[in-house]
């Protein structure tokens, strides 16, 4: 029998190694799996590469992980969102490396990682400072850059409902990076508001099919 529901946050994040790449969902604090990120911090894991849109808000979740010195590098599009003081302190102290990636490129690179795409050409960042050093190609008279896939060792996501197969639905704009990150990691852990009986989620309305999900925990 398939049952992806685990009892504790600790079980949900178990097994992450030092140096791991962690996909951290959310747009600002919306859709951020704060409790999973807190649980990851409690495991003591370090030297993490975190992939996220922002770089943490307030003191919990991704911000807390950064404040605790566990994040070696952050790959994100916009580090300074609402109340980014944990990131800013680490950045000014030279304790965190920043790889800045345009938001759509960040998302597309993870989708490529999820979809068996080994690289892809897009126009975003061509002819700009963020395009420096990238392989370029002229396609139909326009300049494109080659982008490479991103895959996580673990993705930490947040959803609204789940069933024991790991099918997920989201709530409004809290969907954001969750579906793409859930697809793009070797292991995907999701915190949800509630677990419903198998079959209660309309098969037409499943947003993330359970095939992408490994562990579900109710918070």
Which of these segments, 15-23, 60-68, 105-113, 133-141, binds other proteins (CB under 8 A)?
A: 105-113
Measured CA to CA in angstroms, residue 20 lies from 49, 51, 60, 96 at distances of 6, 11, 20, 15
Q: What is the rounded CA–CA span in Å between residue 115 and residue 176?
A: 18
| 24 neighbors 35 (Cβ within 8 angstroms) | no
148 binding other proteins? (CB under 8 A): no
Binding mask 147-186 for a copy of itself (x = CB under 8 A): ----------------------xxxx--------------
Q: What is the DSSP string of 35-63?
A: HHHHHHHHTT--SEEEE-SSS--TTSTHH
Pick from 104, 135, 139, 218 the residue near other proteins by CB under 8 A. Answer: 104
**CB 34 → a copy of itself: shortest distance, Å?**
22
| CA 130, 29, 63, 212 torsion-angle sign | negative
43 binds, among other proteins, a copy of itself, none (CB under 5 to 8 A by kind): none
Name the minimum Å distance from CB 203 to other proteins: 5
Tell me which of 152, 170, 191, 192 binds other proteins, using CB under 8 A. Answer: 170
Nearer to a copy of itself, 85 or 134 (CB): 134
Which among 31, 35, 85 is positioned nearest to 55, based on CA atoms? Answer: 85
């Amino acid at each position: 029998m398939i049952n992806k529901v685990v009892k504790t946050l600790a079980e949900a994040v178990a097994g992450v190694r030092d140096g791991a790449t962690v996909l951290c969902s959310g747009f600002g604090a919306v859709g951020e799996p704060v409790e999973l990120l807190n649980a990851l911090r409690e495991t003591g894991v370090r030297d993490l590469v975190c992939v996220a849109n922002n770089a943490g808000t307030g003191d919990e979740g991704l911000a807390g992980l950064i404040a605790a010195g566990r994040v070696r590098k952050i790959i994100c599009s916009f580090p300074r969102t609402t109340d980014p003081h944990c990131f800013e302190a680490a950045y000014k102290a030279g304790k965190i490396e920043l790889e800045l990636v345009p938001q759509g490129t960040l998302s597309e690179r993870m989708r490529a990682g999820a979809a068996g795409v080994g690289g892809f050409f897009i126009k975003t960042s061509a002819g700009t400072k963020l395009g420096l050093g990238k392989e370029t190609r002229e396609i139909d008279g326009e300049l494109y850059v080659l982008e490479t896939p991103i895959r996580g060792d673990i993705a930490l996501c947040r959803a609204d409902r789940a069933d024991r197969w790991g099918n997920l639905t989201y709530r409004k704009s809290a969907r954001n990076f969750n579906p793409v990150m859930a697809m793009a990691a070797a292991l995907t852990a999701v915190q949800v508001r509630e677990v419903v009986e198998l079959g209660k989620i309309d098969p037409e309305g499943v947003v993330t099919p359970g095939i992408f999900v490994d562990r579900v925990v109710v918070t």
